[in-house]
Amino acid sequence: MFGYVGYMKNEPFLMLESDYIDGAFAGMLSWELEMPRELNPIFPTGEYGAPETETESRRLLFEREASTTAAITPTNPTGLSPFEDITIASLPSRILRTSEQQTVLAWTMSGNYILITTNEEALRRVIERLQSQTL
């Protein structure tokens, strides 16, 4: 399902259903390197832009990590993904921030659903609506 959730402005969200949550979670983690580029048409990611190729996308992500001294940390245990761990509405979530610390992508899993949106508050609102079944 694709839709918009109200916050300070309407924010886009994507809700995907999976019957195999463990595999879906692993897939989401591996998709993180390409997610900004592949979702850019519906979730513009600012400085991540829309690189022409997969190689360009990886280069930009690794350059960002290098410039922000991204390494193996508790919020980035592999040292590979620019996404960070965070808890939103009591759910483990992942966020991607610009160098100015503005969140441009946020995702989590709730039940059989994968939820992706543009910031923490929008994700919180989608989670609340899903839990109250008002989507």
Confidence category of residue 134, pLDDT binned at 50, 70, 90: low
Region 69-75: mean pLDDT is 47
Cα(114)–Cα(90) distance, integer angstroms: 15
DSSP secondary structure of 29-52:
HHHTTTHHHHHTTTS--GGG---S
Q: Which domain covers residue 41, as residue numbers?
A: 2-131
Instruction: Report, in angstroms and rounded to the nearest whole number, the Rg of the chain calculated over CA atoms.
Output: 14
Place of tokens 């989608």: 126
pLDDT digits over 1-28, tens only? 998 888 678 888 999 999 998 899 999 9
Spatial CA neighbour of 104 closest among 48, 41, 29: 48
CA distance linking residue 35 with residue 45, whole number of Å:
10
- What's the domain count of the chain? 1
Query: How many whole angstroms separate alpha carbon 54 and alpha carbon 8?
Result: 33
Place of tokens 């690794």: 62
Alpha carbon of 8 to those of 23, 42, 124: distances in Å? 34, 18, 13
37 vs 105, residue with greater confidence: 105
> d(Cα 8, Cα 85) in Å, to the nearest integer?
24
CA distance 12 to 55: 27
